Structure 1
């Protein structure tokens, strides 16, 4: 029994590492793409606004599991071969970027338009205005929404088990089938997800307070 527990812990630990890695990489990619989409959405260039609006509309109205199945099984059919981990992480980044785009766009709208006009009057370029004036002020209203998206992304990694990724939920299913012990494996998995969620919420709260104090 102790040996079985050690093996189970090792397998669940490996699954946790995959979950954390997938979450971190997908969130980083989603933030970068979401920021680009948000810039497109507030751009005065109509084609850029149209592309970003279409992207957000499409990806926010497709279930993530459908996208995972489409990318995992569809990309090889068109000759694009990637690792399963990379494909799932990329899909999640593309999906959650649509939501992050709206968070950033809403945050930008909280900054008075006079701030941008004053910055342009000083000779700053559009990129400099966004980087040095708009985004630092918008961050205060974006911390909690971004944290909520991070939590949602972390929890949604469990869907990767449906397409064969041995992340935390996938490993829990394997342990359940191998050792016929569903209660222990999924109780541990549940506790880990709760710990991730609470840790993220506490960290977001601290960041939000620090940003508010510095403002």
Structure 2
């Protein structure tokens, strides 16, 4: 004789974990109903934050002192776009040259050669200890210390002599000053990334007979990129904004171009907003690129790659559709 079967409960894998009874016709009505926790504090905080954000946006948009019509008038003028292009060019050149110089400095710093490691440490110490503005002004006035530069035999005759004033213009001075300053920080970024790789990777490569150069380039550096890329991305954004300091050298970057305009029109606030909006736009593009580069080098360090903003949006929309479908029935 077969005993009567008890009402069955269907178990499904839901967002709350395995073993959670899913609502349905087979669920025992005598079991307590699971109610999601009400997070009142989170809801109140979100409402207050949105209210403050709306107030700030309203004050900026409706404030006539910003003169948004003037901002739109000068936003794409030739002078502003030329300054923007020079800013982007400076940022790219300084970042490339900075890491090309900083990477050998990092390798020298990690070298067992006492002379090389000491010289690398001294370079980083000097250029990280001196304000960037002081360095730029120093290079701009380098002609006072070295009126001429010569090429020849050390302590002997010179074959070629060039006047420093004719050699170093404002733009080249800005490139030299920014590159040396960037190289000091890039060296520490690369050194920190190399040190973040487990020493067992190098030991395993040595046990397999792989040379030190190949071990560094093919094993250590690819793994160190996971630590280097986030900091390098922050340095890139900082360099983009830091190029505005070259305006003191009369280099026609974005900020200096805007200053030339408002010195003639006396419309200071709207012209500064033009530069601000351009900096925000470029920084947003660089931040997006940084996210995808970090995601690329995160492969192998986690079971799953972090979702992209588009993937997160799809998940939210799918969840919203499911909730609406349940409420209909």
Instruction: Work out whether 1:16 is the aligned partner of 2:84.
Output: yes
What residue is the counterpart of 1:27 in the other structure? 95
* 1:69 lines up with 2:137 in the alignment: yes
Between 162-171 and 119-128, report the one with greater CA deviation.
119-128
1:47 and 2:133 aligned: no
Match for residue 165 of structure 1 among 251, 271, 276: 251
Counterpart of 2:178 (choices 89, 92, 106) is 92
Q: Distance in 2 between matches of 1:49 and 1:209?
A: 33
Gaps of at least 5 residues in structure 2 are 1-68, 149-163, 302-329
1:178 corresponds to: 264
- Residue 213 of structure 1 aligns to a residue whose secondary structure is coil
Contact 2:74/2:274, CA 8 A, preserved across alignment: no
Tell me which protein shows more strand as a share of its residues.
2
Does the Cα contact within 8 Å between 2:79 and 2:257 map onto a contact in 1? yes
Structure whose alpha-carbon radius of gyration is higher: 2
Structure 1 stretches of 5 or more lacking a match?
none
Q: Flag the structure with more relative contact order, 1 or 2, with Cα contacts below 8 A and sequence separation at least 6.
A: 1
CA RMSD, aligned part only? 1.9
Scaled by the length of structure 2, what TM-score is found? 0.62
> 140, 143, 168: which is aligned to 2:226?
140
Deviation at 1:213, TM superposition (A): 2.4
Q: 1:64 to 1:118 in 2, by over 3 A?
A: same
Asked if the contact 2:74/2:271 (under 8 Å) is kept, the reply is no
For 2:117 and 2:234, locate their aligned partners in 1 and report how far apart those are by CA, in whole Å: 26
Distance change (3 Å), C-alpha of 1:76 and 1:29: farther
Q: Secondary structure at the match of 1:44?
A: coil
* Post-superposition offset of 1:124: 2.5
Write the mapping of 1:96-115 to structure 2, written as runs, cut at 5 A.
Answer: 96-115=182-201
Structure whose residues are more often helix by fraction: 1
Q: How many residues align?
A: 213
